[in-house]
């Protein structure tokens, strides 16, 4: 895949990720009934952390699909595009008085800007890269599995670390992100089938 195709592909993938994260606040009760009465600050955490997680999952898949070089170029473009879109639309979303679910990303007293989003993503990349990407067969526990460690991390961040059912719900939703990434790839491969070079 040449650089121009990578840039276009990455931009489209970025918007697909943003659209998916945009649905997180409205889907919170599907993730777990424990999130039904979640407060606004914790909803901010939930949405932001799912954004970082989805980016990380895509990063791991891109390495498998396209190799290290293309993966590096593509993720750099995707992360910068995501951060730019959020940063550029911050005031617009706030002016809509929270009518857009993505506006939950900006409810904190210190609104995340471009640099904060990049920094947060890089921090989670270093952390999540230590975990196993694929579920292991015949395991007696889930320790060290990416989707489970993410669920534990998120439960801790919203002060619900003792809620086992919440962690199970988050981990199940997190596993669904794998399918989401695969679906996004299929959609974009079909769109770019004449340009993509494998």
Q: Enumerate the β-bridge partners of residue 132.
A: 145
Q: Are 106 and 96 in contact (CB under 8 A)?
A: no
Q: How far apart are CA 47 and CA 112, in angstroms?
A: 12
Which residue, 45, 77, 80, 61, is CA-closest to 177?
61
Residues of the chain under the 70 pLDDT cut? 1-3, 89-113, 135-141, 191-198
Q: List, for residues 164-178, the tens digit of each pLDDT value.
A: 999 999 999 898 888
Residue found by looking up tokens 């699909």 in the block: 65
pLDDT tens-digit series, residues 98-141: 445 455 454 443 445 677 788 888 999 999 999 988 866 656 56
Residue 31: exposure state from Cβ atoms within 10 A (0-12, 13-18, ≥19): buried
Helix (H, G, I), strand (E, B) or coil at 145: strand
Map tokens 């070089």 to a residue.
69
């Amino acid at each position: 895949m040449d650089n121009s195709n990578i840039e276009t592909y990455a931009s489209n993938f970025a918007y697909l990720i943003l659209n998916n994260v945009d649905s997180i606040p409205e889907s919170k009760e599907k993730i777990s009934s424990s999130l039904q009465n979640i407060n606004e600050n914790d909803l901010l955490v939930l949405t932001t952390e799912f954004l970082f997680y989805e980016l990380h999952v895509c990063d791991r898949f891109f390495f498998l699909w396209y190799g290290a070089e293309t993966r590096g170029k593509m993720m750099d473009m995707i992360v910068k595009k995501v951060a730019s879109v959020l940063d550029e639309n911050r005031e617009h979303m706030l002016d809509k008085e929270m009518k857009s679910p993505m506006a939950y990303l900006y409810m904190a007293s210190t609104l995340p800007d471009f640099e904060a989003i990049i920094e947060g993503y890089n921090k989670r990349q270093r952390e999540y890269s230590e975990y196993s990407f694929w579920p292991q067969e015949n395991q007696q526990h889930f320790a060290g599995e990416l989707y489970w460690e993410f669920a534990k991390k998120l439960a801790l961040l919203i002060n619900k670390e003792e809620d086992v059912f919440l962690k199970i719900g988050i981990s199940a939703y997190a596993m669904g992100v794998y399918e989401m990434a695969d679906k996004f790839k299929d959609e974009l491969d079909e769109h770019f089938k004449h340009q993509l070079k494998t």
